[in-house]
Amino acid sequence: MKKGARVIGRWALACAISAGPTLARAEPPTEVGATEGDVDGLVERGIELRRDGRDDEALAVFQRALAQAPSSARIKVHLAATYQALGQWAQAERYLRDAASDPNDAYIRRHRATIDKASAFIEQRLGSLDVTGGPDGAELVLSGQSIGQLPLSQPVRVPIGSYLLEVRKPGFYTVSRPISIGGGALLRESVVLGEREQPLVAVSEAADTAPIGTDGGRGSPRWLTWTLGGAGVGALAISAVAFGVREKHATRWNSEDCIAPGLTRGDVCPAELDSGRSAENWGIGAAVASGVFFGGAIASYFLERREPTAEALSLDGCSLGLGAARCFGSF
């Protein structure tokens, strides 16, 4: 153990020895529910453990003694010395100040000079951190350890050294900054967290700007409108081709190529009539399908529930001029 870390242990041990069993017998314990033998036995056991360098075990014994005699200044001094030996300076200071809080205590009066020196020694191993700002409720984290929330009621006592200070709260940006705490010094930090911006959801704009093939999340998906429209155009094209083939067969049927003496047109050109009728049926079926698809596309478009705009949907110029259904007009 380092020499500096043993200083307070030595003076506390000296106090304990000089005010050991003889002092305890001269000053009967005043704690309710404790007996002189129980408390003194625990204190003596803690002192022996500290002599053997078993400070962790001694700490547990002194804590048991304090539980039996919670107002004992002597036990609090031993606890402060033990915490100091373990390098836990903030706890050592807390117990030493608590022990010295009653200036009329006989034990404190007798060892005032030594306790004051010990307090000054601990003071040089601690600094104070005061964080101001907001928002209220923001958590203060010092190198991974939570030390409180804003606003602080008083500065936090921190062992000297370098740390990473984080201030965080849900819904706000976290602030992190390195800090250094000096012995006996007060470090002030001012932190104001910025609120995170919440994304604005504009439903109408989202639908109008959604790319083709995406679902705006309202009514019929846009890709369905375009699919039905494309199917309608395809069916219309098939109808046009079919009627064109029909016209070709009808022209030949009505020409002189299908006339022969003593024979009917059906005898001369039987295939032309069948092919023409078949093409006509295809043309009619495709035209009907085209109308269904276009109707579905228009219905799907309006089911998207767009906001009214000044622009109109125009389908002018769809006619193929072959006797098929025309799609001129505006919606």
Burial profile 19-38: b = 16 or more Cβ within 10 angstroms, e = fewer? beeebbeeeebebeebeeee
Q: Which residue has the tokens 């307070």?
A: 8
**CA neighbor of 84 nearest in space, from 3, 184, 25:** 3
Q: For residue 21, is the peptide bond before it cis, meaning its omega torsion is within 30 degrees of 0? A: no
pLDDT at residue 55, as a whole number: 95
Please report which confidence band the pLDDT of residue 256 belongs to, taking 50, 70 and 90 as the band edges: confident
Say how many C-beta atoms besides its own lie within 10 A of residue 73's C-beta.
Answer: 22
Please report which confidence band the pLDDT of residue 201 belongs to, taking 50, 70 and 90 as the band edges: low
Of the listed ranges 40-54, 87-101, 202-216, 240-254, the least confidently predicted one is 202-216
Please report which confidence band the pLDDT of residue 4 belongs to, taking 50, 70 and 90 as the band edges: very low
CATH class of 4-123: mainly alpha
User: CA 320, CA 328: separation in Å to the nearest integer?
Assistant: 11
Q: What share of the chain has pLDDT > 70, as a percent?
A: 73
Residue 159 pairs with which residues in a beta bridge?
Answer: 126
Q: Amino acid letter at 279? A: A
* Token pair of 105 as six digits: 């205590």
User: CA 313, CA 108: separation in Å to the nearest integer?
Assistant: 95
Say how many C-beta atoms besides its own lie within 10 A of residue 82's C-beta.
Answer: 28
* Token pair of 251 as six digits: 């022209």
* Helical ranges in the chain per DSSP H: 7-18, 21-26, 36-51, 55-68, 73-85, 89-99, 106-110, 112-123, 203-209, 222-253, 265-268, 270-303
Domains 4-123 and 126-192 equal at CATH topology level: no
Please report which confidence band the pLDDT of residue 33 belongs to, taking 50, 70 and 90 as the band edges: very low
Residue 156 pairs with which residues in a beta bridge?
Answer: 129
The answer to whether the beta carbons of residues 212 and 223 sit under 8 Å apart is yes
Which DSSP category does 189 fall into? E
Of the listed ranges 15-29, 96-110, 218-232, 275-289, the least confidently predicted one is 15-29
* Token pair of 139 as six digits: 């958590």
Q: How big is the chain, counted in residues?
A: 331
pTM for this model (two decimals): 0.49
Which DSSP category does 216 fall into? -
Burial profile 136-146: b = 16 or more Cβ within 10 angstroms, e = fewer? eebebbbeeee
Please report which confidence band the pLDDT of residue 226 belongs to, taking 50, 70 and 90 as the band edges: confident
The answer to whether the beta carbons of residues 80 and 13 sit under 8 Å apart is no
CATH class of 126-192: mainly beta
SS3 for 114?
Answer: helix
Residue 165 pairs with which residues in a beta bridge?
Answer: 142, 177
Name the average pLDDT for the chain. Answer: 76
Kindly report, residue by residue over 128-172, the tens digit of the pLDDT.
999 999 999 999 999 999 999 999 999 999 999 999 999 999 999
Task: Give the helix/strand (H/E) hosting 169.
Answer: none
Of the listed ranges 32-36, 74-78, 220-224, the least confidently predicted one is 32-36
Q: For residue 155, is the peptide bond before it cis, meaning its omega torsion is within 30 degrees of 0? A: no
Q: Domain residues of the chain, as ranges?
A: 4-123, 126-192, 203-303
Which DSSP category does 321 fall into? S
pLDDT at residue 15, as a whole number: 43
